[in-house]
Amino acid sequence: MKTGRMLMPSRLVVIALCLYGCSHAGFVDDTLAVRYILDSNGRTGVGVMRVVDTVDHRVTDLFLARQGLMTLPDTVGALDGLVTLNLDRNELSALPERIGSLKRLKVLKASYNKLAALPVAALQCSLLVCVEVDHNDITVLPAPLSGWRNLQILSVQSNRLHDLTAELNGLRGLKFLYVGKNEIGAVDERIDSLVELEVLSLNNNNLSGYPAGLCGFSKLRKLDLTANKLLSLPEEIGDLAALTDLYLSGNRLAGLPSTIGQCTQLQWLYCDNNQLTRIPEDLCSLAKLQWLSFSGNRLTELPERIGKLKNLAVLSLSHNNLSALPESIAQLKNLRMLFLNGNALIDLPKAITDLRELDFKRGGERYGNLHLADNRLCDLPDRVADWADRYCPDWRESQQCGK
């Protein structure tokens, strides 16, 4: 049981602060408030100045991460000059309504706690730019979110949200929305009102259909839909003209729309572990593509035009049903990593030996970045075999010859 002495600052501290407070009363009030927060959680040995930053004798930043906090007293509401409040990695199950008194607050971080909800009063912090509350037990966001009219970053990953509702449409200036690793099965189509959105992470949720509102974002650069239950993508995905990163791995996709070739800014495309049987020819027009990953699918062939991807650095095709490669693969002169393991290849194009950058240096040694294991490459021409030896020295050991 905590004693009264633990809850109050020492007598010497009070005297010192009172003397200093003749000209800086605001600082004294702020310091006493922080001292009370620490002492009420048994952190009597932590100095106030270790956890604050000040400007003009007012506490503007409060860093209470990893302090073992069990409670955040209402006293926090007295810190009306606070701009940043970091409560990450504590044991907090709730935040006080008095947090709404922090009218200057711009950054609120409370990830890795035990929060079941955010207080509605937090919506009164209208200057908030960033809210990060990952790894909690939050099931619903406070409403109406229009109170956070200046918010640009909202991160609620690894919680228990079931849907993204219409409340989001009040966040007109939002640029980064991270809601991965929740239980989201539906996204309100009015999400398309987030016209400034640049990054949207919906990975590891329960989406079975591509949300209708996700096709009108003219500024969206990164879209992460990894590990959902998507069966298909709409033709309108080609309208995402600014898209550079698209993550679709771990779904149930049987095909990709040809309009994906209209996403001309695309640089990173991950489609691993789906049920894809082919790569659309139109995808080969994506001149800026650097990373293309289709491992763990059911591909039986590659488009002949794949050689048009001149900037491709990584091509991952492991664990498919490929028995041959097109000659044009040799045109990928910038390729640094090539994954072909776990297929049914019986031969390689002779021109593939033109790929001369499939290695990397570490500690003065060169290592291959070619992966050929578990195929049927049992009778390669000498020149091709020598090339394979250079970039994948142990490729012969795991070929399925005679099977």
Structure confidence at residue 401 (pLDDT)? 82
The three-state secondary structure class of 156 is: coil
Whether 265 and 244 have beta carbons less than 8 Å apart is answered as yes
Q: How much is the pLDDT for 190?
A: 85
Inter-CA distances, 344 with 301, 306, 325, 373, Å: 11, 19, 11, 10
How is residue 302 written in tokens? 């590659």
| Predicted pLDDT at 365 | 67
- Can you tell me the distance from the alpha carbon of 149 to that of 294, in angstroms, rounded to the nearest whole number? 40
Phi-psi region of 263 (alpha: psi -120 to 50; beta: other; left: phi over 0): beta
Q: What is the pLDDT along the chain (403 residues), one digit of tens a residue?
A: 344 334 444 444 443 444 344 445 556 789 999 999 999 999 999 999 999 999 988 999 999 999 999 999 999 999 999 999 999 999 999 999 999 999 999 999 999 999 999 999 999 999 999 999 999 999 999 888 889 999 999 999 999 999 887 678 789 899 999 999 999 999 988 888 899 999 999 999 999 999 888 888 999 999 999 999 999 999 999 999 999 999 999 999 999 999 999 999 999 999 999 999 999 999 999 999 999 999 999 999 999 999 999 999 999 999 999 999 999 999 999 999 999 999 999 999 999 999 999 987 667 666 679 999 999 999 999 999 999 999 999 999 999 886 5
Of the CA atoms within 13 Å of residue 196, those in its CB half-sphere come to 14
pLDDT at site 14: 46
Single-letter amino acid code for the residue at 26: G
Domains of the chain: 230-403 (3.80.10.10)
At position 258, the amino acid (one-letter code) is S
Q: What pLDDT was estimated at residue 27?
A: 61
Surface-to-core class of residue 249, CB atoms within 10 Å of its CB (0-12 exposed, 13-18 middle, 19+ buried): buried
Q: CB–CB of 316/336 below 8 Å?
A: no
Of 357, 354, 342, the residue nearest 395 (C-alpha): 342
- What does the pLDDT read at residue 62? 97
Distance, in Å, from the CA atom of 111 to the CA atom of 95, rounded to the nearest integer, reads 12
> Which residue bears the tokens 């991460």?
65
Residue 25, pLDDT score: 53
Do residues 128 and 105 lie in contact, with contact meaning Cβ atoms separated by under 8 Å? Answer: yes
Cβ atoms 242, 215 nearer than 8 A: no
DSSP category for residue 271: -
Residue whose tokens read 């590891």: 204
Cβ contacts of 45 within 8 Å, gap of 6 or more: none
Instruction: Please tell me the predicted confidence (pLDDT) of residue 181.
Output: 98
Identify the pLDDT of residue 168.
82
Structure tokens at 228: 């959902």
Q: What is the pLDDT of residue 74?
A: 94
Residue carrying structure tokens 């049981």: 1
Closest CA to 182 of 199, 197, 203: 203
Helical ranges in 79-221 per DSSP H: none
pLDDT given at position 3: 42
Cβ neighbour number for residue 103 with a 10 Å cutoff:
12
Residue 288 to residues 197, 259, 334: CA-CA distances in angstroms?
Answer: 22, 16, 12
pTM here?
0.91
